[in-house]
Amino acid sequence: MSRYRPPLAPRSKYISAEGEQQLKAELHQLWKVERPKVTQSVAEAAALGDRSENAEYIYGKKRLREIDSRVRYLSKRLEEISVVTTSPDDLNKVYFGAWVTLEDDRGELVRYRLVGPDEIDPKRGYISIDSPLGKALLGKPSESDITITAPTGEAGYFIKSISYSDKPT
């Protein structure tokens, strides 16, 4: 019997060079460092005998499945992504990789970078171009107003500035 899995929401295939290197580093760490260690510990735990009550063996096998699943995902994802290494022709509009400074309805400033779904990091201000805010920003020029529907209701923003470098504008 096969399990039905709903299709994943369409995801952008764009990634920055930095993001690609992070995925490659994670793949290397899992495949060349972590997996061999876990495989060795599973083999040692299996040698102890009764596997049905051997917590180290059971946990090790579970961890191997998790590693293998992530390795399969990363391998496939690295084959299908497109690395964006150049800035767009029109630097006055929001595209992938842009740093955008927004003013919200309360007059507070926030700064985000539009990245691919594999690079999301709220602490660094990295939001996905597939997010509602990311979609609303794409293609908009500086000094534009945008409105998004958030879980808490509608939210309005004013695009104060757009930059394609890490330095605030």
Give pLDDT tens digits for 99-120.
Answer: 999 999 899 999 999 999 999 9
Identify whether 42 is part of a domain.
Answer: yes
Instruction: Categorize the per-residue pLDDT at 1 as very low, low, confident or very high, splitting at 50, 70 and 90.
Output: very low
Give yes or no: residues 24 and 61 share one domain: yes
Give yes or no: residues 71 and 98 share one domain: no
The last residue of one of the domains, among 83, 98, 129, is 83
**To the nearest whole percent, how much of the chain has pLDDT over 70?**
92
Give yes or no: residues 112 and 155 share one domain: yes
Q: Confirm if 163 and 98 have CB atoms less than 8 A apart.
A: yes
Res 97: pLDDT = 95
Say whether pLDDT at 20 is over 50.
Answer: yes
Identify whether 5 is part of a domain.
Answer: no
For the whole model, what pTM was predicted? 0.81
Identify whether 6 is part of a domain.
Answer: no
pLDDT tens digits, residue range 7-16? 456 688 999 9
Domain that holds residue 136: 86-163
Give yes or no: residues 78 and 100 share one domain: no
The total domain count for the chain is: 2
* Phi, psi dihedrals of residue 144, rounded to the nearest 5°: -105, 155
